[in-house]
Structures are given as C-alpha cells and as structure tokens.
Homo-oligomer: A and B are copies of this chain.
C-alpha cells in the first residue's frame, strides 16, 4: 500500500513542492491538486496491477532459445503502464513527454518499486538510456530511439559490465569497428544486463560501452553506442534483426522476475552516441539519476517489510508484556507490546520514512537542472546532489537491507517460509548494495572524489545547511534535544573529515580504509538532519491543530527513537575511522587463511 499520507506530508508539509515548482518552473502549472491526483493514480495502479505480481513473479523468467519469457502478468501490466502514460511523466514535451518535474517521477518510481521491484526494473532501466540519449543523441537518434523509449513502446538497457570487469570499466574489451556508412560493428559479451531481453516490448535499445580501434587504454578509451535489438526501419517501425542475442539468464538469489542477461553482440550494428572515447563522461549524466533510483530500492524494501511486519506484530500473540497483560482478553499479548519487537519496527520505520525524505529531497535537486533559475543556483543543487547521491545509494541500500531482515525476524519462523513473502524482500533487497556501484565504490566516490578532492567544499555546502537549521531552531523547545544532538554530530562530521584528510596526507590507503565507515557515518548524520526537520514540521502542524494528530505524534516519536537508538551508531564508525588503516593492511595476501 502506498503510504500516501507520509508522501503528502513530505511533499507538501516539509518540501512544499508547490512553491518550489513555481519557483523552478516560473509558472504554477503543477499544483498540489495535480500532484495529489498523480500520486493517487500511481498508487492505485501499483496496488491493483503491479503488487499482485510480486510474489508470483518470484518464480522467475524462463529462457528458451535466446528468448526470455517474463513471469505471468508482467506483459499485461506493462501494456497498462504504457497506456496510462506513466513512462513519459518527466520527459520533455518535445519528445512526447508530459514535462512534469522529475521529483514526481521519483515518487512514482518508489510507489511502483515498493509494489514489485523486479517488475519496476523493466521500465526503470530505460531511464539510463533516456538520459544518455537526451544529453548526447543527435536529432536523428532522438527521433529514431528516444521517442520510442519515452512513450514506453520500447525499453532500454545499459550494457557496461563484462565478465572480468564490473566496477573497473577501464579494462573492458568489447570492440566497435567503423563501417563505411558511419555506423559501427559492435562485438563483445556483456553480463548482468537487467532487462537485456524480455517479451514486454517489440524492441530493446541497448546503450553499449565499447572501444574504438586504437582507442587509449583504460577509462579514456571507452565510447558509447546505441545498439538496438531490431534496427529501425525507415518509417520508424521495427526493421531487421540486429546481431544482438541473449546467451542466457542468471539464476539469482532474488529479483527473479527481472531478467539478468548475458548479451552477445556479434558484429551488431551500432551508432556512436556522443563523442568518441568520452563514453564514461557521457555516462556520468545519468549515473546520479540511476543511483538515486537504486537508493529508492532501499526504502521500497524497508517500507514493504515494515508494512508486512507491522500487520503481523499486531495480529500475532506470544507471551505477556513484562509490565502486565495488555490484551487480557487474548490468550497472550500481541507481540507489538514487546519492546524488542518495537525496536525492530521502529528501525524499519525510521529508515523507510527518513530515507523517503532523503530521496524526495534528492528528487527536488534533480529538478534544478531544467529550471528557470540562474546558473549559480543550478550549480549549487548539482553539487549538493553530487555529494548526497553516494550517501543515499550506499547508506539507504545498507539500512534498507537491515530493515528487510528485521521484517523476517519479527515474523520468526514464518518469516523464513516463502509463502509469507518476507524472505523474498530480503532476497530482493540483497542486490541493492552491489549493483550501480557497490557500497565500497560509493564510499570511495564520496570520500575521495566528493569530499577530499574538493577540499571539503561539497561537505561544507551541506553542513552549512544543517548549521543554519540548527541555529533557526536553537530556541525551539519542542525539538531542543534533537537539535543539540544534530548540531554536535554536524560539528563532529567536519572534525572526522579533517582527521581523515590529515591521515591521508601521510598514507593514501587511509582513504580506502576509512571510506566505508565514512559513508555510513555520513548517512546517519544526514538522516538525523531529515528526522530533525520532520519533527519540527510535525510539531508545527500539531500546534496548529492542522491534520491527523496521531500521524504527527508518530513522526515525533520516530524522530526521538532515531536520535536515541540509531544515531549512536556514528560513534562506532567514528572509532573505526580514527583507529586508521593499519590493522587492515598488516596481513600479506597469504596470511589471511590457513587450510
């Protein structure tokens, strides 16, 4: 069930997107009524069409002679998705899109992803192709491919990984040989291609990383190519089959409804996208967007697991409360009375709802790019996004996985049984800390590129916002303890960063040694900032007697819980950072294990 109340609270009461959109777009075409109507329609679509396919889709796809059959109902739901106009929500009107803010598309992605993550990956994978084509495609390429992707008639993929290289794309080997007509012959094998082959659409547009003849070694010799499964005919319809074949699909731990394909390119006809050898740079265009998409996965699974666990915790009875029976009419108390069950539920809740806040905030930052605002305001939003994206991706997928596991734990033995659906959430969630750059890669991106390489500029941009918030609320007695704790954590964040910077000047490995703890530390402080803000808003609404008092009390209690039971994790990460890299590097490669 899409938590509409929470979504509206975040969008309207906290982010005040109606005002923001007016400011960004220079008009009032996207107002609250429109937003709420889209949200309601999206929720209904997800709940009625997509969610019912989640558990049945776990049987997985079937691969037969190069073709992939998606689980029962996936295709019918996709047709309705296209008919409903959902793929084109944020795209430019010139491309047939609806020109709505991307931050609304983020909300819809979350609603659909929470209903059925595997299904959502088919339309989801198109985003990368759409972004790349929008930024770098020629007019002809846009006409041929982009409009079809925007309408959802075709889907797209990103073909990066090869069997020997995932994070380290510099060593990839796929080749592009120029043809006399300006096209290229692409040859190579890509693995882990989500939505690489399926039966939902008549055509699939692959965006492929490959090397031109004589290209420089490493990441500076990679180019991007458009390689469709079927070449478009002159009239734009599907033409001749291209040299693209699905070799097999993977059997995975989870997200079984999503086809993960080996795609073989055998002299497939491809079209250069953007400049030669600048492929990785062109990719950065959509990297942030894709990572926000994966950060969403963390909260989708946290929310789904929370909803399941909450229902169970209310229904299931076991033992009596330590302070005396709470449901004397029952044989035993509902397990929601037990503090340890509450601890797990509240942990799920603060990650799901706080993480949602972070993703929505990031969503609004993506809207700045296409706004009417001056360049410096756009640049600041871009910098904030560059800083927060690796935090959101790493942190929210890690804690989303934790939340999913709490759901299984609350169910006890029943959580481990497939029938109940809770273990599927864990299996589906497990991939999120790995793909689109592992937690370790995000951590290095944050600490190395975003923090140390900018001499802390991006960090200061964000901590200043926290500082201003704390100052503004310094005399707000309702949130005093939260603001004090946030202010201390904010100062400590800077100190910890300085400390790493100093260690790294002596020993470069310190960056790698501290990165994981740093990204998690940063995540906990960032989420504390979100929760403190939500508590301020909830207190205000409560004082105004405006809305559902229980809802606001729930927010305030969750914020309290976050500060008391979750934020202390920063102390563990701080201690690990401060103890330095030495204990990680002592052992030689041979000294780890003895068998």
Chain A residues in the interface with B (C-beta under 8 A): 1, 3-6, 161, 164-168, 170-171, 191-192, 250-254, 306-307, 310, 314, 317-319, 321-323, 331-332, 334, 336-343, 345-346, 349, 401, 405, 408-409, 412-413, 415-419, 423, 426-427, 430-431, 433-435, 438-440, 443-444, 507-509, 511-513, 515-516, 548, 550-551, 553-554, 557, 560-561, 564-565, 568-569, 571-572, 575-576, 579-581, 583-595
Contact = CB atoms under 8 A, between A and B. Distances in A.
B430 A426 contact: yes
A252 B192 CA distance: 26
Contacts of A592: 310, 336, 345-346, 349, 554
Given A3-B595, A349-B592, 6 more contacts: A168-B318, A343-B516, A412-B434, A412-B438, A554-B594, A571-B571
Contacts of A164: 317
19 contacts: A1-B595, A3-B595, A166-B413, A171-B331, A192-B413, A307-B595, A337-B589, A339-B509, A339-B515, A340-B516, A342-B587, A346-B583, A349-B593, A408-B434, A550-B594, A551-B594, A557-B583, A557-B586, A568-B579
B323 A508 contact: yes
A428 to B, nearest CB: 11
Contacts of A444: 340
Nearest to A250: B417
Nearest to A568: B575
Nearest to A408: B430
A179 to B, nearest CB: 29
Number of copies: 2
A211 to B, nearest CB: 14
A318 B340 CA distance: 42
B512 A166 contact: no
User: Which 8 pairs of residues, A with B, have the shortest CB-CB distance?
Assistant: A568-B575, A253-B423, A339-B512, A564-B579, A339-B513, A168-B318, A340-B440, A557-B586
Contacts of A571: 568, 571-572, 575
A439 B409 contact: yes
Contacts of A317: 164, 168, 171
A592 to B, nearest CB: 5
Given A252-B417, A584-B561, A323 B3 contact: no
A582 to B, nearest CB: 8
B512 A322 contact: yes
Given A339-B585, A409-B433, A595-B5, A427 B575 contact: no
Nearest to A321: B509
Contacts of A564: 576, 579-580, 583
A206 to B, nearest CB: 18
A580 B339 CA distance: 11
A588 to B, nearest CB: 8
Nearest to A438: B412
Nearest to A343: B584
A3 B568 contact: no
A84 B537 CA distance: 69
A285 B560 CA distance: 43
A514 to B, nearest CB: 8
Interface centre among A340, A409, A418 (most CB of B within 10 A): A340
Contact of A412 (B5, B166, B340, B345): B166
A307 to B, nearest CB: 7
Given A322-B508, A592-B345, A434 B409 contact: yes
A435 to B, nearest CB: 6
A548 B409 contact: no
Contact of A548 (B431, B576, B594): B594
Nearest to A570: B572
A504 B551 CA distance: 30
A415 B589 CA distance: 21
A568 B572 contact: yes
Contacts of A338: 440, 512
B550 A590 contact: yes
B565 A576 contact: yes
A560 B583 contact: yes
A418 B167 contact: no
A303 to B, nearest CB: 10
Given A250-B417, A314-B589, A587-B554, A581 B339 contact: yes
Contact of A253 (B251, B341, B426, B516): B426
A315 to B, nearest CB: 11
A218 to B, nearest CB: 10
Contacts of A339: 509, 512-513, 515, 581, 584-585
A560 to B, nearest CB: 5
Nearest to A251: B418
A488 to B, nearest CB: 13
A593 B3 contact: yes
Nearest to A163: B414
Nearest to A594: B5
A256 to B, nearest CB: 10
A439 to B, nearest CB: 7
Contacts of A250: 417-419
Contact of A591 (B433, B550, B584): B550
Contacts of A346: 583-584, 587, 592
A321 B589 CA distance: 13
Contacts of A430: 405, 408, 416, 423, 426
B512 A419 contact: no
A338 B508 CA distance: 11
Nearest to A336: B589
B322 A511 contact: yes
